[in-house]
Amino acid sequence: VQLQASGGGLVQPGGSLRLSCVTSGSISGYYGIGWFREAPGKEREAVSCISISDSSTRYLDSVKGRFTISKDNAKNTVYLQMNSLKPEDTAVYYCAASLGDPVPEQYFNVAEYYTYWGHGTLVTVSS
Q: What is the pLDDT of residue 45?
A: 97
Residue 27 phi/psi, 5-degree rounding, is: -65, -25
Residue numbers in the chain where pLDDT is lower than 50: none
Contact 77, 12 (CB under 8 A): no
Q: What is the pLDDT of residue 66?
A: 98
Return d(Cα 122, Cα 91) in angstroms, integer. 6
Q: What is the pLDDT of residue 29?
A: 87
Q: What is the pLDDT of residue 25?
A: 84
Question: How many CB atoms sit inside 10 A of residue 51's CB?
Answer: 20
pLDDT digits (tens, 9 = 90+) for 24-50: 888 888 899 999 999 999 999 999 999
